[in-house]
Each structure stands twice: as C-alpha cells, then as structure tokens.
Amino acid sequence: MIRKLLVVHKLQMIGNLMCNRKTTWLVVLMALVQMQAGAQILTTDQVKKLAPDAFFFAGQSAATQLRNTSGLKNSAGKLVLVGFVDTSGYSTAIAQKYQGFLITETKISFDGTSLDPGEYGFGFKDGKFTVMNVAASDLFSVDSHNDDQLKRPVPLKIEKDGDAYRLYAGRKYVTVKAD
C-alpha cells in the first residue's frame, strides 16, 4: 500500500514537472511573440500625435508635411519618425539636399551604416540617401535603390521588409533596421 502511494506520488511529481516545463516554454514563446508584435509601423493617427509641426535645421525652422510623415516603433517601444518638410525658406544649396527630418530614439542603420539616437535631416538625391546633422553637415550617404515593382508610389512611406523596413521616397528607397 505504501509502495503504491509512493509510486502515485512520484508520478504526480513527474506530471507537475512536465506541466511546469510546458508552462515555462509557453510563457517564453508568448513573450517572444509579444515582443515581435510590439514592433510595428505607426498608424496615421499615431503619427499625427507624435510628429512635430516644425523641424529646426540649418538655423531655421521649417513646417513639416504631416501627410508625408511616417514612423515605426521597435519591440522595445522606441520610435523612429521621418517626414518631409517645406524647404522653401532655405538656400538653394541646402534645399537641394535637405528634404526631411529624421528623429530616432534608438540606434538604427541604413544598409549597414549605423546612426545613433538623435535628430537629423535627410535627402534622396542622385541615387544617394544622405543623412545630415541639424547643422547641415553630411554624416553619411548610402546608395538608394529603385523599386520599379511598387504599384502605388507615394511621396514618403515606411514598409516592412523581412526583419527590416524600407523608407520610400516615391520609388526610391533605403533599407532601415532599428535596434
């Protein structure tokens, strides 16, 4: 009788251990899914609430084009916002290369070139994507790509591309990865 009770007790312990392992794996899996689900392209309403009305660059403040602004949130909840600005008040030299603002709360990379959190200007010109600091000094340029298969190009948008994103200006784009 005691032997049967010990065997039953052992079986219950093994069952509990197996149940605990399954529960642990389930919790880990759910956390991973939730982290991945947390990374997203922002909706129009989210962008409207977050985007600045104006952006300071090269000694001037320019109105942002909210309709041409997009953003993303990484799995840690850090934001990246990009948008076009009205460059009509800038000198020709600045207006030719500066098209918009880039604000990032996390480290990002463009086709492998890393960029720390901060506020920047950017532009697509002559097959290049250039990022500048707010004093209008070039930080880096990477080759931009052309997407001839894009069905409905718009002035500016972000689209998911595997584990990265594409920042589009019309059919031109660069690949962005957010940490």
Q: pLDDT of the chain along its 179 residues, tens only?
A: 666 655 556 657 666 656 555 544 443 334 444 444 568 999 999 999 999 999 999 999 999 999 999 999 999 999 999 999 999 999 999 999 999 999 999 999 999 999 999 999 999 999 999 999 999 999 999 999 999 999 999 999 999 999 999 999 999 999 999 98
Looking at residue 27, its pLDDT comes to 38
Cα-Cα-Cα-Cα torsion 30, 70, 82, 167, nearest 10 degrees, comes to 80
User: How many Å apart are CA 122 and CA 97, to the nearest integer?
Assistant: 7
Query: What is the structure's pLDDT at 34?
Result: 43
- pLDDT score for 37: 54
Amino acid 12: pLDDT = 72
Rounded to whole angstroms, the Cα distance separating 29 from 84 reads: 39
d(CA 158, CA 144): 14
pTM of the model: 0.79
Percentage helix, strand, coil, to 5, in the chain?
Answer: 30, 45, 30
Tokens of 65: 């084009």
| Domain positions in the chain | 1-38, 40-178
